[in-house]
Amino acid sequence: MSTVAPVGDAALPAVLDEWEPVIGLEIHVQLATASKAFSPSGVAFGAPPNSLTDPLVLGLPGTLPVFNRRALELAVRLGVATSSKIRARSRFARKHYFYPDLPKGYQISQYDEPLCEDGAIDVLVGTRRMAIRLQRIHLEEDAGKSSHEGATSHLDLNRAGVPLVEVVTAPELASAEEAAELMRSIHRLVRWLEISEADMEKGQLRCDANVSVRRRGEDRLGTRTELKNINSFRFVQKAIEHEILRQIRILETGGRILRETRLWDAMGGVSFPMRSKEEANDYRYFPDPDLPPLVVDAQIMGAVLGTLPELPGPRFERYQRELGVSPDDARTLVSERPLAEYFEAAVAARRPEAAVGVRGRAVANWLLTELLGALNGDDKAIGDSPLSPASLAELVDLIEDGTISGKIGKDVFESCYASGQSPAAYVESKGLRQISNEAELLKIIEQVLVTCAKQAADYRAGKEGLFGFFVGQVMKATGGRANPQLTSELMLRALKS
């Protein structure tokens, strides 16, 4: 068994001038149903081994599959959200292979008539939005889990029969980074649509990658290898980068790429061959005689279309265009739906006077830096925020209309985050209103110049660096409530007179 040593990332850019990677992903997503795809056993992670089986899951004779309507609705939702063509009549097929985690001797899947075809998904690479085409999305059932113990395997069939969709991209991802971002986009989208929790540690989102390279300018695709079971965003990128370099090195030394399946070993940062790739017809697919055509009727389409939320990609654009949010902040805001919903609720709660066109900018700043920072510190999700969207909007309004300074704003934020109190009420009760009254400020400035007569003399003798000191003294005397800009103006005038 040959292994390939890890290669430094530094080697990548230079060889990529000559070689073009071509990558396609196959991503399995577990659908968030209560029961299995074709039988009524429950679906639960971490249940005692073999406690979630029934005669169908065990492949016992005399059983017939009956498909789960919820699984169909969730899959159609993903199809619609990716602008896929939804087949009014699709078909289940048997995919045959003999492995003990598949007691029936075949997996129920879809082959030549999948549920969804020709879709596309929004991928954010950095802050660049691109569309990656999806060849198909089909329904299938999961297999059981086997763990190897010496000469035997131990089998837990709890996972067998759990409904999945397999999403297959067109082979048009051009880098490991794009592949990792595509996986992030799928993860974000299925969570956004509440199709799946997509927890990778529980195997609810799994990824295989098809990787090939060709000389730039070449039309024909190179021989591809398949990387199996790369189950984190980081591993996807690393495994694919490693595979691209491995192939380039073989080709540059006159070698030939074998069409094979390789397993990524995350610990060693290497991949090794698993088995020679079986051709598709080795699975001897045929239409499942137990399952008549799967029909997507108007009722199902209506239910899906009626509940489809605005998607991350369009929101990413809208936040920048209509709300003045920076591309980086917009990307973070659409990373998960609860965060985007919180942001929109806060923007909607702002006073009508707030500047149109940039209403979201300051909200995004406070939300992403202060609030997320505090929530992370407390290990809380946005949904558990003690500060409501309306309170965050109020705080931003208080700062933008000059009632309080940004610096006082941070104190107000901390207090209100801790107490859940409304920022406006807190500012009133603590007398934190900014002092923007000239006469009031001048009185304080005169007092400071009397107390600090020596420094004033030094300043007037040319030590202009002391200016900040005087402003600081005013802030100290007012508990930070002096309007900083006005204070600077008045202080400058007072010192020059």
Q: How far apart are CA 38 and CA 65, in angstroms?
A: 5
CB of 372 to other proteins, least distance (A): 35
| Nearest to other proteins of 68, 434 (CB atom) | 68
Which residue lies nearer to other proteins by CB, 33 or 84?
A: 33
In contact, 74 and 35? CB cutoff 8 Å: no
Q: Which of residues 99 and 402 has its CB atom nearest to other proteins in the complex?
A: 99
Minimal distance, residue 282 CB to other proteins, in Å:
6
Tracing tokens 């059981």 back to the chain, one arrives at: 144
**Closest-CA residue to 74 (of 142, 136, 158, 139):** 139
Which tokens belong to 324?
A: 């003045």
Nearer to other proteins, 160 or 491 (CB): 160
Contact 348, 363 (CB under 8 A): no
Question: CB–CB of 236/207 below 8 Å?
Answer: yes
Q: Which is nearer to other proteins, 149 or 353 (CB)?
A: 149
Helices 176-192 and 312-323: angle between axes, nearest 10 degrees? 90
Name the minimum Å distance from CB 142 to other proteins. Answer: 16
Q: Which residues bind other proteins (CB under 8 A)?
A: 1, 33-35, 40-42, 48-55, 58, 66-72, 89, 91-92, 96, 98-100, 146-157, 273-276, 282, 284, 287, 289, 291-295
Whichever of 50 and 436 has its CB closer to other proteins, that residue is 50
Q: Could you tell me if 93 and 112 are in contact, meaning their C-beta atoms sit under 8 angstroms apart? A: yes
Indicate the residue among 108 and 339 with the shorter CB distance to other proteins. 108
When computed from its CA atoms, the radius of gyration of the chain, rounded to whole angstroms, is 30
**Rounded CA separation 466/11 (Å):** 52
Smallest gap, in angstroms, from Cβ of residue 276 to other proteins? 7
Which residue's CB is nearer to other proteins, number 53 or number 391?
53
CB–CB of 161/39 below 8 Å?
yes
Other beta carbons within 10 angstroms of residue 426's beta carbon come to 21
List the structure tokens of 452.
């600090």
Minimum Å gap between C-beta 200 and other proteins is 24
Report the C-alpha gap between 300 and 320 in whole angstroms.
Answer: 34
Nearer to other proteins, 66 or 131 (CB): 66
Q: How far is the CB of 190 from other proteins (least distance, A)?
A: 17
> Greatest CA separation found in the chain?
102
CB 104 within 8 A of CB 143: no
- Enumerate residues 6+ apart whose C-beta is below 8 A from 298: none
The DSSP letter of residue 254 is T
Burial class (CB in 10 A: 0-12, 13-18, 19+), 232: middle
As measured in angstroms, the least distance from the Cβ of 212 to other proteins is 21
Distance, in Å, from the CA atom of 455 to the CA atom of 465, rounded to the nearest integer, reads: 11
User: Minimum distance from CB of 144 to other proteins (Å)?
Assistant: 9
Q: How far is the CB of 1 from other proteins (least distance, A)?
A: 8
